[in-house]
Amino acid sequence: MRVVLLGAPGAGKGTQCKRIVDKYGLLHLSSGDILRQERAAQTELGKKAQSYMDSGGLVPDEVITEMMASAISKSPHSGFVLDGFPRTVEQAVELDKLLALKGKKIDVVVNLKIADEEVAARMTGRRSCPECGAVYHIENLKPKVEGKCDKDGTELIQRPDDSPEVVKSRLKTYHEQTEPVVDYYKNNGTVYDIDSGESADEVSELIFKRLNALGEA
């Protein structure tokens, strides 16, 4: 199964991807997580991405497409769930071309829908594991031990791009550049709209129901 998760910042892409991966054994490929690892390692790619990420804009298409093409082709798994990519119509077109070369395609797109007002509260309370990318919330999805990742015990951090000003800019970027990707996929395949304003468990249930039905079809 090759799945794309779309949605605004804070819609729950990372949270739900981890659950999809645990249930279906797919590979989780998050463009944001890969960029953050590159930044932490201060690679050329990481340095290039830094200013775009800190301002809430998008890293240029050609840089991202190359990075994700490499991650997909290096993967030993044939099934994956993409989180944060594609984020422009140009990226979606390039992804389709890349998969078509191997006789493959995206099977399903899950579109997590969330109101802009809800996003701010999610972002200010988010805590992330810099090691494994696991995501928590200080009220909604608490770790077992405060401030520590459940999986590896690493100290949780607040992402620098979660400040209210940068979140505003990320939402603007999402509406202008990523929302058209939903229409691109609606014209080219199967898109499931999911109300992501519900609790994380309810959202997972809705996603699993859709993915199970796809597996049975």
- What is the contact surface with Mg ion in residues (CB under 5 A)? 13-14
Distance, CA of 37 to CA of 135 (rounded, Å):
15
Closer of 13 and 39 to Mg ion (Cβ): 13
Active site residue 87: yes
Closer of 79 and 125 to ligand AP5 (Cβ): 125
Active site residue 39: no
Distance, CA of 204 to CA of 74 (rounded, Å):
28
Helix H or strand E segment including 136: strand 135-137
Contact 122, 10 (CB under 8 A): yes
Cβ density class 170-195: b for 16+ within 10 Å, e for less = bbebbeebbeebbebbeeeeebbebe
**Closest chain position to ligand AP5 (CB):** 32
Paired tokens of 23: 């249930």
Of positions 2, 28, 39, 137, contacts ligand AP5 by CB under 6 A: 137
Q: Interaction with ligand AP5 in 170-209: which residues (CB under 6 A)?
A: 170, 196, 198-200, 203
Helix H or strand E segment including 27: strand 27-30
Of positions 2, 3, 6, 12, contacts ligand AP5 by CB under 6 A: 12
- Of 96-104, 133-141, 145-153, 184-192, the segment contacting ligand AP5 by CB under 6 A is 133-141
Catalytic residue among 19, 113, 148, 159: 159
- DSSP 8-state assignment for residue 192: E
Which of ligand AP5, Mg ion, none is residue 46 near (CB under 5 to 8 Å by kind)? none
7 binds ligand AP5 per the rule CB under 6 A:
yes
Active site residue 127: no
Active site residue 47: no
Taking alpha carbons only, the member of 8, 4, 2, 5 closest to residue 118 is: 8
- Tell the smallest beta-carbon distance from residue 85 to ligand AP5 (Å): 4
Of positions 20, 29, 31, 45, contacts ligand AP5 by CB under 6 A: 31
Active site residue 126: yes
Taking alpha carbons only, the member of 49, 20, 213 closest to residue 112 is: 20
Distance, CA of 173 to CA of 170 (rounded, Å):
5
Residues that bind ligand AP5 (CB under 6 A): 7, 9-15, 31-32, 35, 52-53, 56-59, 64, 84-85, 87, 91, 122, 125-126, 135-137, 140-141, 170, 196, 198-200, 203
